[in-house]
Amino acid sequence: MSPLAPTSEQELLIRARLLAGQSLGELAAQASRTVPQDLKRDKGWVGQLIEWHLGASAGSKPVPDFEHLGIELKTIPISHQGTPLESTFVCVAPLIGLHGLQWQQSHICHKLKKVLWVPVEGERDIPLAERCIGNPLLWTPSEIEEQQLRHDWEELMDLIVLGHIEQITARYGEVLQLRPKGMNGQALTDAYGPNGSRIRTRPRGFYLKKHFTQALLNAYFQTN
DNA sequence: GCGTGATCATGA
DNA sequence: TCATGATCACGC
């Protein structure tokens, strides 16, 4: 028996707040799931457990978790100091068929319009079952944050369109970075190469850098 | 292979 | 020590 999907933004927020303070062990029991020893082979386990509790529409469709509410759910691993332990994956990056693609029409822009962040203790010295959920926050990019995201996105997409994807490293971008996102280094997909050629390359994903998510968490908890 | 959920683990 | 590049699982 899985929870129903929330019918409003307010209901979603209320339900997310009820998770705060609970441990992953407690939440797993309520969902009749077993807690893995570690996340080495279950990297998405925490995210999927929280999705279940909040009634997110499961599946691997490229749409927001709560499509009817236009809200994306992101769990974020937090250190003992309350800072993000990892960058945040947003979505895969399109590498071909990019003619005329603008920020406002991009998949990443839509996904980041409204995000429900759920902090979860993530230090490896805390047994998985004992890690607790933190207070959630519903975030919409400020004008400045959206400008930062759009600027990085445009720079990265320009390089991709010009066939320079192999020159892009995770160091590009102030707040948004492009990194491999695949089963392993052998996974390949099509991309633009030099001089209008077509090449095979590793699939890439857009990730939010730690300092960006840290800043938005700080801004929220500083005023709430 | 793609897109979802992410964290792992090694080189700098 | 820590971010980059690599990797793991699942549904289809």
Q: What percent of chain A has pLDDT over 90?
A: 94
- Residue A164: the pLDDT is 98
Quick check: A224 pLDDT over 90? no
Nearest to A74 by CA among A219, A168, A211, A208: A208
Confidence of residue A2 (pLDDT cuts 50, 70, 90): confident
Chain C positions with a protein C-beta closer than 7 Å: 3-11
| Distance of alpha carbon A52 from the chain centroid | 16
Q: Which residues, including other chains, have CB under 8 Å from residue A218's CB and lie 6 or more apart?
A: none
> Residues A139-198: pLDDT tens digits?
999 999 999 999 999 999 999 999 999 999 999 999 999 999 999 999 999 999 999 999
Quick check: A58 pLDDT over 80? no
Protein CA at A173 to nucleotide C1' at B10, angstroms:
23
Protein CA at A93 to nucleotide C1' at C5, angstroms:
16
Quick check: A222 pLDDT over 90? no
Distance CA A102, CA A191 (A): 18
> What is the rounded average pLDDT for all residues in chain A?
97
Please state the rounded mean pLDDT for residues A46-57.
Answer: 96
> Residues A74-118: pLDDT tens digits?
999 999 999 999 999 999 999 999 999 999 999 999 999 999 999
Quick check: A7 pLDDT over 90? yes
A182 touches strand C (CB under 7 A): yes
Protein CA at A142 to nucleotide C1' at B6, angstroms:
25
- Residue A191: the pLDDT is 98
Query: Helices A45-54 and A9-19: crossing angle, nearest 10°?
Result: 130
Q: What percent of chain A has pLDDT over 70?
A: 100
Buried residues in A27-40 as b, exposed as e (16+ CB within 10 A): bbeebeeebeeeee
- Residue A57: the pLDDT is 84
For the entire predicted model, the pTM comes to 0.97
Residue A89's nearest nucleotide, by CA–C1', is B6
Nearest to A183 by CA among A92, A61, A120, A94: A92
Give chain A's length: 224
Distance CA A184, CA A13 (A): 36
